[in-house]
Amino acid sequence: MSFQLIALDLDGTVIDRDLAIHPDVRETIAAVQARGIHVTLATGRVFGAALPFARELNIRAPIICYQGAMVRHPLTSATLYHAAMPADLAAAAVRELLDADIFAIAYIDDIHHIAAYRPELEPYLAFHPEGTEIVVTPDLDRLVAHVPPTKLLFVADPPVVERELARLTARFGDTLAIVRSHAIFGELTAPHVSKGNALAALAQSLGIPREAVMAIGDQENDLSMITWAGLGLAMGNAAPTVQARAHAVLPPVSEAGVAYALRRYVLNCTS
């Protein structure tokens, strides 16, 4: 069966650390869309942070944001799906993080709420040259208890992220979705939120069967869509756990692995 929907992670897949899209990736995505094949982005980024990349690539399908907690159209800004976190659980998770002296961000309507400015904010902002609205809210747990966030993110050194993911999973694993999206980022969303579930819902809305869907990613938060898709592919720079569960491993993002995949599996090019 020919592929009808391609889901692409952004960071580490479509864009490298310089946040630039390789010309080969841009050209092959354009060629795929010219054939009438849907291409979407599936990212942990907020809608506003994903939109510039969607526009650069002329993406016309709804895009998956916030780890799958939101599906929104890049052309009309219409929200097709949004799952906010349960307010009480969001507040409890924020308290757990702040009590452990972990820097946390709560996302409400694309606005970044933090309890206080800390050095950990700088590596996060390096991923967002487009600019973000930061609001300091000292009583962060009280805010999210009244206005449920779409997502929580925490920033720490890799060993601390690993420790906190294990601790938070033990505390909230049955009630919240918890994933690692980067070596220094951990994220929490509403239960059952994942890129895989969002991709499945998007495919169903487009009338596209699972076997006609391709997904490409590099981090543990991409595993759900890689394992759900008819063809799930891992970047050469992907985490070992992701590479182990993908159907195949591509060249790394620095070598335009997405372009390689689209030429081989979609455009049927041999070179």
- The rounded distance, in Å, linking the Cα atoms of 255 and 257 is 6
Strand partners, 151: 107
Report the b/e string of 4-17 with b at 16+ CB within 10 A.
Answer: bbbbbbbbbbbbbe
Element (H, E) at 189: strand 185-189
> Six-digit token pair at 270?
């041999």
- Res. 1 pLDDT band, cuts 50 70 90: low
Handedness of CA 226, 224, 49, 183 (dihedral sign): negative
pLDDT in tens, 184-210: 999 999 999 999 999 999 999 999 999
Answering whether pTM is above 0.85, one says: yes
> Six-digit token pair at 196?
């895989």
> Mean pLDDT of all residues in the chain?
95
At the top level of CATH, the class of 87-189 is alpha beta
Tell me: pLDDT of 270 over 60: no
Distances (CA, A) of 72 to 51, 54, 111: 10, 11, 16
Domain residue spans of the chain = 5-82+193-266, 87-189
User: What's the average model confidence in pLDDT over 20-37?
Assistant: 96
Superfamily of segment(s) 5-82+193-266: HAD superfamily/HAD-like (3.40.50.1000)
Report yes or no: 107 and 152 within 8 Å, Cβ to Cβ: yes
